[in-house]
Each structure stands twice: as C-alpha cells, then as structure tokens.
A and B are shown apart, each in its own frame.
Chain A
Amino acid sequence: METPKISRRGLLGASPVVAVSAKAASAQTPEAAAPALPDAPVRRRVVLKVNGESRELDLDTRTTLLDALREHLHLAGTKKGCDQGQCGACTVHLDGERVLSCLTLAAQAEGREVVTIEGLARGGKLHPMQQAFIDNDAFQCGYCTPGQIMSAVACVQEGHARTDHEIREYMSGNLCRCAAYPNIVAAINQAKSQMGRA
C-alpha cells in the first residue's frame, strides 16, 4: 500500500500558515532568527480507520495518533506512558505492524488500518494472546498490558518468537515496571502455537 510519508517537522514546515506567521514574528522580534512557530494551530480533517470503523476528526495537525485515539475517539485502552517513544505502552498495529502511536501523527495513519487493544478480540472471543496473558498472569497493574499484547501479537507474526531469547529481545521495547517479564515470555510461548505461525 502506498502511503505518504509525513513527519511532525515536515508537516509544520510545509504549511503556508507557518510561512506567514514566521514573517510576522520576525518583524516583531529582532532575535527571531530561529524558525518561528505558528501562532495558531493548523487544523486538518483526518479520517481514521480504527478497528474496522471509519471515523472523521478535525485535528490540530500536531495531534499524535495516541492522543487522537485517547482524547478524540475515547479509545483509552491505548496508554500514554512517556509520550516520547521510550516505554511501548502506546503500541498499536498500523497495517498489521506494531508502531508507537505517540511517535506517529494521526495524519500519518490516514488510509491505513489501525488496530488497538479494543479491536483485538473478535466476536466476543479473546485473541489467543489475551487468553495467554490471563493464563500466565503476565501483568500486574495492567497499564503496559495493551502495549505488551499488541507488541506480542506482532512479535509472533514477525517470526520473532522462535526462542525465549528471541522473545525477550524483541519484547524489550515494552517496559513493564511491575516486571512481569518471565510471565510475558510464557504467555507468548503459549499463544504462538495457537496463532498458527511462530
């Protein structure tokens, strides 16, 4: 699938509103040699397809996929743990691949399939990974759990769950402060055979 590559920085720079306000800013403040920020937010209509459902939003272009899900679509299962790509709590699937929704602009997700923890269970039946997390007590406080599960499903689908060592390595972007790590490894081992491909 062809998708436009947009970065946070590029999006701001490309906006005509930015250019205008930058001029205005430099006229007022002599020291404004650094690129000025827009004074007013740039808004954009964004259509997101989340868990199979299309939703139209009017967003500040800087809105991350994470904040779009949480604050605008009230899909709060995806968690904010750092907002800077360090903890993995916000992991969702974008066209089947795991991404950090805090480092993805909502606009970047347009035209792509977003799946969150709320969309993993099908027809009232838990995904094998969700059941495996229960069976192996693979969480305590549960806050990192949506990200762990989304990451774990992708980890298996990527073929990165062949050994315990490989699971540990490929799950190390998802921090669990309660440290349920050995149970998470056990859960992935249980689920990978049920998921069909490991």
Chain B
Amino acid sequence: MLQPTPPVPQPLENMGQAIPRYEATAKVTGQPLYAADEPIARPLYAFFKTSGVARGTIASLDVRKAEAMPGVMKVYTHRNAPPRKAVKHIMTGGYMSDTNIPLADNRVRHDGDIVAMVVADSYEIARDAANRIEVRYAAQAPAATFGSPGAVKKVPEQAQKNAKKAGDFAAGWSRAPVKVDARYSTPTQHHNPIELYATTAVWNGDQLTFYEPSQFVYSTANGLAEQIGVDPAKVHLVNPYVGGGFGGKGILTQRTALVALAARDLGRPVKLVLHRKQAYGLTTYRAETRQRVRLGADRNGKLVAFAHDGEEVTSRADDYMVGGVENTVEMYACPNIATSVTLVKADRNTPGFMRSPPETPYMFGLESAMDELAVALNMDPVELRRINDTQKSPISGAPYTSRSLMQCYDQAAAAFGWSRRNPRPLSMSQGDWLIGWGCATATYPTNMMASTARIRLTADGKAVVEVAAHDMGQGAYTAMQQIAAKRLGLDPRQVTVRMGDSALPPGPVAGGSMTTASAGSAVHTAAGKIAARFGGAMPAPNDLDDAFRRLGVTQIEEYAEWWPPGQGPQAVRALYKGSMGGGGGEEGEQQEGNAGGGKPMMAAFGAEFVEVRIHRLTREIRVPRMTGAFAAGHIVNPRTARSQYLGGMIWGMASALLEATEVDAKRARYVNDNIAEYLVAVNADVPQVDVILVPEVDTKVNPLGVKGIGELANVGTAAAIANAVYHATGKRIRDLPITMDKLLV
C-alpha cells in the first residue's frame, strides 16, 4: 500500500523552499482580522429580509412591527431605499456580479432577493425585527432551470465570437469508425466558504472605509464608488485576510452599497453578516450545465472529430457565460473540431466564477467521454491520452510553452499501481465492496494580468513588500515573501508583506489562478529595480549596511509595474480602476491566457487516479485513495503548492459525489441552502490523498516561470471518479453528483 505524501515535500528540480506559511503563527492563535472581525466602535447591525418567492411583485409590505421595536433605527424597503447607480456586470466592462438592483422597485427577481433591510443597535434586534416584517407577494410562476416553462434560450454574442473550430467536424464525424456521442450534466454548486459574506461600512466625513471579504479590492472599491456616486479616492477597502473565496468573493455584490449608504444615512458604522442561507441568493454560484460530447476516432484511437456543445443557466439580468468548450478543444490533437454554447435564462440570481469555472464542468464531460472512447476501442485510457497528446494547439497550431501531461500520467500511474488494473468492469472486488479504478486529465490555463508592487529595503536588511493582491489560503503572502527574498538575497523572515488593502499599489484579482504569476512578477521586477541601485547584484545581507552608506541613503523604495506580454501600460491604468477586462493588448484583453491567434499556449497539466469502493448491496460509494501528479512550471513553495493540490482533489471528489444545490423545479428556490444539507467533504470522507509534484521548467510563460495551480487539481477529479465508478459497476453515470440512488436504478 502507498504511503501518503508527507505534509512537507522535499523540493525537487525548479522548486523553491518549503517554508511554513508567512501568516502561520497568526492563524493558529486567532490573530488575523477577517472582514467581520474588525473591532468597530458602536456599530449598528443590518439584517436582510429576503424574498420567499422567486418571481413576482410585492403586494403588501408591513414594517410597523419591526419599526416599533426598541433599538431599530430604520427599515429600508423599496419605498425608501437610497438610490444607487446602475453599474454594468463585470463581464461587460462594469463591476457587478449581478445587475439586479434590490429595493429599487417592488419586483422580486429571484429566490432570496432582498425585500427589506433592518438596521438596529444590536444583531439580535435586527434579526428579530427582520423576521417581523410581513410581506405578501403577487407571485408569478418562475422559470427555474433547463426545460422550465418560460426559460429563454440565447446564444450570446461572446459565444459566437469565441467559438473555436478546426477543419470540418461533420466530415470527420461521418468518417470516424469509432464514435462516442454522449450527454452529460453538472449541477448548481455554491462556494460555501466558511467565512460568511460580510460588510462593515464606516464613514469619516466624506471618506468611506469598508471591510468585506474581497478577492479583488481595487475592483470592489471602485465599483462601490461608482454605485454610490463617490470619488474612488475616498473609498478604502481593508481586507488583509479572506476566509476562503473560491470565486465567490471576487466580484462586488449589491449588498455592499446598501450597507454603505445606510451607514451614511444613519451617521453610524453599519455591520452586516449575511446568514449562510442568504448567501445562496445574494452571491454567485456555479451554473448548472448540460453538455453533448461527440468524439470520433480511428481504430488506433487517434481522434478525428470532436464536438463539444454546452447549455448553461444564467439569470434574466445578465448573460454570464461559463465558456468551457473553449478550453476542452485545446486538450488533444484532433483535426476536426466544433463547439457551441447556449445560455438558458431563468428567474435566478446571476451565476459566476467558482473554482476553475469553465474547466470543472466541461472537463467532466470531455474526460468522461474519453473514458467511454477507451472502452469502445478496448484501449487503456492512459494510452488513449498518450496517442492524442499534443504539444500544440489543435485550433491555432501555436505551441505550448511547456506541457508535461504524459509525465504526470506516468508518475501518477506508477505511484497508484495502475498496471495491476484489470480493465474489465466488475472484475475487482473485496468482500462486499466492488472496486473501481479510474483516471482523468487535469488542466488549467496560465492566466496573467497586470500588477504593480512596491518594495522598501532598509539598511538593516529588512524589506516591506506591498501589493493589493489577496491571500484566501493559496499561500500568496508566502509566495510574495519568497520571491522578494530570493531576488534581494534576504532570509525570507526579514521580509514583511502587506496585501488586501485598496490603499496599496494595485494587484490582480485572486482569480484565474494568476496571483503568483502576476503579482509575483511585479514583486520580482520591483526587487530587480532595487538590485539595480546596487549595480545589479545584491550585496550579501551582512554587507548591506556598508552598501547603503556608500549610496548615501538609509533606505530604498521602488515601485514597479508589470504586464503580461502583448499588453501595455494601459493594462496598469485599467488595473487602477479595478477593471478586469481592460488590459488591452492590440486584440483587447484575453482572460484565458491560452486564447488562439498564434499566441503561445500556456497551461498547467495534471493526471489524477482514484479508487472507488461501492457496496454491492447498498451502493454506498467511498473513495479510499486518490493520486494526483501535477506539472506547473516553477513551484515557489512545495509545501503550499501541495496543499493547493490536496485541497483541490478533495474539492473535485466532493463535486463528483456530494455537492449540488437542489433547485425546486416549480418554485425556482434553493432547497438545501445551508451547509448541513449542501454536502461538502468532511474529514471522514477523505482517507488518503497522494500528491506528486512533477518538475517542469518553463522559461517562456513569465519572468518567474510559474503557472497557476490553485484551480488545477479540482479539474478532472470528477471524471476520474465517474470513470472508476464505471469500472467498479459497469454503470456509466453521466449526471453529477454520483449518488447511491443513481447506482441502484
């Protein structure tokens, strides 16, 4: 039996030191201030009353009982809510996660829409009063999801513009001797970070300071300023620690302006902590998808045709698009490729980014279909990937800067013991347990955006690094510390890092797995400018004092701006405005770093192997072990990188077996809107996870040679599990999550 990887791996080739997290001691002693932890003098507390229907109008709203409660300062409804400016959605050049403005009129547009906000002098009274508000609705039948009456299909312009194709799919498909044509579905999922969504607003004259969990402080602060009509220079967001984000805290929601304006109106700080239930309707989520995958191959397993068609749910208000078919078609060599995406607009809040937004659902489809193709060909699924592996884009022909997919497969397969697998379904069992082994590919594009950074080095050999990037657990503080220390020739312990504050020089969104590549490159550049002051090579720490004397200064401060190849200073100007889409190379900003057009392909890869055990009678599903091997260029810190992969694979396991937000088909309401009935993985679900860091050198992606890893490992896990379930039972489950009932049918 395999031994688990020790928690702290030894650095291999092209890997940095596995030092403990920068903020480790603070985090084990309860010191970090997350958004709702900030001590505020005499705050008022806000609590929302949210809608009990998904579509309709408010017929009557009686707030008298709430207003009569001692301690209630004000009840805001659509009749008296302060106006807010309509700001565009983040994907159309604005800032918002959802452009539906609550309390702007008497309409209810989705389950959990805000119908009133109570502000009181204690949390207990605010919540009590909110529950005493009496609302009657003139409800209309809502469209919940795919196939609901009233749901409207739409092919967004963006999907048509970005559609990728190669050769002639129809011709290739008609000629293919071996075919898989299958339909898959993935469910609605909510991020459910353990830190709740909170906002505290404090006005000092016309200056606003606010505290809320944010994966992009510049965007959140600028967006709020625009919404409430305040000079962005007077809006300050403080958030040094994010208690888990996973995409849910990336984009400004509508709650923030309500809290900020109430604080101004009432002349006191106002604090809001959304109840977990309320987060389901008032933040974003992973949209459910339906997919059709067609794979055609010759008798040797070479792909000759691949079509990936997706349907995704979104809100009436916004055309949020998941867009994963753009990535799946880059996976394997294939001459004939076609894609399409269709949105289905329903009476829902707007979905958004959730850890590997496009890859998680769409790689489940592709990698399940690859397994089905391997079965149809009677071929080992690892060999099928090897035959179709490519070092260039099948769409544009551009080469990958590096791609170590098969090295990952070979190392993971060896560690897992794949060669002992009997490929026949139902062939491996132990007592009452059917055993299945499956594998799948993980991938994530190397995204980057502009970043700035400032470093101050003092003669005593201490450095302070400042960048408004974000650490939500990825290890970003530690990565910035190590990158600066390495370039400055310092012991990392001499480096202080400040992040998560809109008063610092701007950094990238903590999304798209691009913090280390982007903010790290800016930190590296700023450190290089300091080194240049000493003639390019940093003096040894012991010689620093003398070197400073020779320069005639006591400290050096350098500010640097960095942008990815193909972009320019306008990308930094956009960054200062908190714009995610304004990078602007000659072809405009590209969120996904591997967009075509002959530009080099940049992506990290991995291979994941899982064992499932399924009880012969009850169909209980357990995952006793998982092995993943990943290659992502330079690894700044193997300790934190391993933890990212470990957590990612467990996320993937949960997405395959546990996680689904159930949407009431008739009422369009979230049924299991809490963290007991929305199942996330618990400790008992996770026996053994084996992580292998595959060394990879990439000199082209960026100055540091790093690729993004935070959203790599949860991609592919779901397919690996579904493939293992097929191997164990002979039953192919194409609709996630895979639950006992689906195996009992």
Which residues of A are in contact with B by a Cβ distance under 8 Å? 37, 39-41, 60, 62-63, 67, 70-71, 74-84, 86-87, 89, 116-118, 120-121, 126, 130-131, 133-146, 149, 164, 167-169, 171-186
Contacts and interface: CB of A to CB of B under 8 A. Distances in A.
Chain B interface bracket (under 10, 10 to 19, 20 to 34, 35 or more): 35 or more
A86 B675 contact: yes
B680 interface: yes
Given A143-B243, A181-B683, A77 B69 contact: no
Contacts of A78: 30
A168 to B, nearest CB: 4
A146 B23 CA distance: 14
Contacts of B194: 79, 81, 87, 89, 141, 143-144, 175-177
8 contacts: A71-B123, A116-B30, A121-B29, A126-B25, A133-B24, A137-B643, A141-B244, A175-B675
A133 B72 CA distance: 43
Nearest to A132: B28
Given A84-B276, A87-B675, A142-B27, A185 B683 contact: yes
Nearest to A190: B7
Interface in B118-135: 122-125, 128, 132
B241 interface: yes
Contacts of B646: 179-180, 182-183
Contacts of A133: 24, 28
Interface in B292-326: none
Contact of B128 (A37, A143, A144): A37
Given A139-B27, A142-B26, 19 more contacts: A37-B128, A62-B128, A75-B30, A76-B39, A77-B30, A86-B276, A86-B675, A130-B28, A131-B28, A133-B28, A135-B7, A137-B20, A140-B244, A142-B473, A143-B244, A145-B27, A178-B244, A179-B681, A182-B4
Interface in B180-224: 191-196
Interface stretch (B78-86, B532-540, B549-557, B686-694): B686-694
Contacts of B128: 37, 41, 62
Contacts of A75: 30
Nearest to B43: A71
A188 to B, nearest CB: 10
A60 B69 CA distance: 14
B617 interface: no
B630 to A, nearest CB: 16
B327 interface: no
Kindly name the residue among B28, B244, B647, B654 whose own CB sees the greatest number of chain A CB atoms within 10 A: B28
Contact of A62 (B27, B71, B124, B680): B124
A7 to B, nearest CB: 16
Nearest to B245: A141
A81 B195 contact: yes
A41 B28 contact: no
A80 B30 contact: no
Contacts of B472: 140-141
Ranked nearest first, the 7 interchain pairs of A and B with the lowest CB-CB distance are: A77-B30, A143-B243, A140-B473, A141-B473, A142-B27, A76-B37, A117-B30
A179 B682 CA distance: 8
A141 B29 contact: no
Nearest to B714: A179
B635 interface: no
A80 B196 CA distance: 7
B29 to A, nearest CB: 6
Contacts of B241: 141-143
Contacts of A41: 70-71, 122, 124-125, 128
Nearest to A133: B28
B4 A177 contact: no
Q: Is the interface of A mostly helix, strand, loop or mixed?
A: loop
Contacts of A40: 69-70
Given A41-B71, A137-B20, A180 B28 contact: no
Contacts of B573: none
Contacts of B651: 179
B243 to A, nearest CB: 3
A39 B69 contact: yes
Contacts of B640: 137
Given A89-B194, A175-B680, A185-B683, A143 B68 contact: no
A116 B473 CA distance: 22
A181 B644 CA distance: 12
Contacts of B689: 182
B237 to A, nearest CB: 18
A70 B688 contact: no
Contacts of B639: 137
Contacts of B31: 77
B683 A184 contact: yes
Given A37-B128, A76-B33, A141-B244, A178 B473 contact: yes
A84 B25 contact: no
B643 A180 contact: yes
Contacts of B682: 172-173, 175, 181
B674 interface: yes
Interface string B632-651: 00000001101110111011
A150 to B, nearest CB: 10
B684 interface: yes
Contacts of B132: 37
A86 B29 contact: no
A131 B28 CA distance: 8
A130 B681 CA distance: 23
Contacts of A37: 128, 132
A190 to B, nearest CB: 9
Given A70-B37, A169-B684, A141 B68 contact: no
B34 interface: yes
B740 interface: no
Contacts of A81: 194-196, 276, 675
B122 A168 contact: no
B688 A80 contact: no
A105 to B, nearest CB: 11
A55 to B, nearest CB: 15
A60 B122 contact: yes
A118 to B, nearest CB: 5
Contacts of B654: 179
B481 interface: no
A181 to B, nearest CB: 4
A140 B193 contact: no
A76 B20 CA distance: 24
B7 A183 contact: yes
A121 B471 CA distance: 25
A80 B683 contact: no
Contacts of A67: 123-124
Kindly name the residue among B69, B196, B243, B675 whose own CB sees the greatest number of chain A CB atoms within 10 A: B243
B473 A74 contact: no
Contacts of A172: 682-684
Interface in B637-681: 639-640, 642-644, 646-648, 650-651, 654, 674-676, 680-681
Nearest to B70: A40
B266 interface: no
B606 interface: no
A67 B124 CA distance: 9
B163 to A, nearest CB: 35
Interface in B13-60: 20-21, 23-34, 36-37, 39
Given A60-B122, A180-B646, A167 B683 contact: yes
A128 B276 CA distance: 33
Contacts of B644: 140
A64 B373 CA distance: 56
B233 interface: no
Contacts of B473: 139-142, 178
Contacts of B648: 179
A167 B36 CA distance: 31
Given A40-B70, A182-B686, A84 B674 contact: yes
B358 interface: no
Contacts of A70: 36-37
A4 B229 CA distance: 54
